[in-house]
Amino acid sequence: MHQTVFALVKRGQQEGVLRRDLPPELLPQAITGTLHVVTRFARSLRTDPATIGPQVADLLLDGFSA
């Protein structure tokens, strides 16, 4: 999964849709790490990960800004 995300990040940076000021190696780690944590979090709350998936995607793509 890491290599797939890395390839997508590289392509996104080349196309100008993802930030180029961050190392491409950082983003896959941040994405996959977040997904692992959210999965554990959802299980601990007995929540279906698909339920909070859109919220997690929003955080990953748009950050925490208001």
C-alpha distances in angstroms, 5 versus 2, 29, 30, 41, 51? 5, 9, 10, 22, 22
CB-side neighbour CA atoms (13 Å) of 28? 15
Calculate the CA 26 to chain-centre distance: 11
| CA-derived radius of gyration, the chain | 13
Q: Which helix (H) or strand (E) holds 23?
A: none
Q: How many CB atoms lie within 10 A of CB 11?
A: 12
Q: Would you write out the chain's pLDDT as a tens digit for each of its 66 residues?
A: 678 888 988 999 999 998 899 899 998 888 888 888 888 888 888 887 778 888 888 888 887 766
